């Protein structure tokens, strides 16, 4: 029997209430579709113990932690030292998500930018990839990422990338990665798919951002890690590859960027 290609959901939120009591079942359904690994993201540092517990309880689950930009104004400001300390855990594999979101919270942009620079420094010190959320803030995002990179290199993924071509080009020029979510699979997302198609395939990851943004054929429903395979099938079409080849390439990309997760042997 032909083996289902293995693939990683590089960004989900298994601690969210939509999944309460279901994580083991979610992992089992994901495994049936070849999704053998997932990174669950803590968006408020005070919730890190609960997110860590999920990674400790389930072998396929790794985690990252940071302060989401939309929460930066009502959470204690993260410190570099706290993030570096958290990164000592063997299954802690990324810094964030951090970033800038001016869609709903533009009035807190100064706090968001301060928080972002703290997360960048933590990524720089730990060598772990920075996980970036960017919405309606392309110019400031490109400027800050570039300024900070010139001050000292770090690795980064633009999570759930749905910004413009200029920010994609700026990120790629810095050696960063773009992550494809269910948004890229929506029928009306042709312009976004064109942005991805112009990127090198060796800089592409796939994710769900579950429980949000389920791709077709489950659009409008609760998203879950198993559905990353549906986004990856669209990604394969975008790059003109067989699904098996695209899955393999994204696995290689994930292993390069999230090298701590790739090296973990339990």
13 among annotated binding-site residues: yes
25 labeled part of a ligand binding site: no
The β-bridge relationship of strands 61-65 and 7-12 is unpaired
- What values do phi and psi take at 6, rounded to 5? -85, 145
97 in a known ligand binding site: yes
C-alpha 171/C-alpha 158 separation (Å) is 8
- To the question of whether residue 209 is assigned a binding role by annotation, the answer is yes
Q: Give CA–CA dist 43/174, Å, rounded.
A: 25
Instruction: Give the integer Cα–Cα distance in Å for 205 and 247.
Output: 9
Residue 89 annotated as binding site: no
CA 166 to chain centre: 20
75 marked as binding residue: no
Pick out the residues of the known binding site: 11, 13, 97, 133, 159, 209
Pick out the residues of the known binding site for a divalent metal cation: 11, 13, 97, 133, 159, 209
């Amino acid at each position: 029997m032909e083996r289902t290609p293995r693939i990683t959901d590089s960004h989900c939120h298994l601690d969210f209430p939509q999944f309460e009591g279901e994580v083991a079942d979610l992992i089992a359904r994901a495994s049936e579709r070849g999704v053998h690994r997932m990174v669950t993201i803590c968006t408020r540092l005070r919730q890190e113990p609960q997110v860590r517990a999920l990674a400790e309880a389930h072998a396929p689950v790794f985690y990252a932690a940071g302060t989401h930009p939309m929460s930066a104004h009502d959470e204690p400001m993260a410190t570099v030292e706290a993030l570096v300390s958290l990164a000592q855990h063997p299954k802690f594999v990324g810094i964030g998500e951090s970033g800038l979101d001016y869609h709903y919270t533009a009035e807190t942009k100064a706090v968001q930018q301060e928080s972002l620079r703290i997360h960048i420094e933590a990524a720089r010190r730990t060598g772990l990839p920075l996980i970036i959320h960017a919405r309606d803030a392309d110019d400031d995002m490109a400027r800050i990422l570039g300024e900070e990179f010139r001050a000292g290199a770090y690795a980064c993924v633009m999570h759930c990338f749905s910004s413009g071509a200029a920010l994609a080009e700026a990120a790629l020029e810095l050696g960063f990665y773009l992550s494809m979510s269910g948004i890229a699979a929506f029928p009306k997302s042709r312009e976004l798919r064109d942005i991805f198609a112009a990127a090198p395939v060796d800089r592409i990851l796939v994710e769900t951002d579950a429980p949000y943004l389920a791709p077709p054929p489950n659009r409008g429903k609760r998203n879950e890690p198993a559905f990353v395979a549906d986004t990856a099938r669209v990604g394969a079409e975008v790059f003109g590859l067989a699904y098996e080849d695209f899955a393999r390439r994204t696995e290689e990309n994930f292993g390069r960027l999230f090298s701590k997760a790739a090296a973990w042997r339990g």
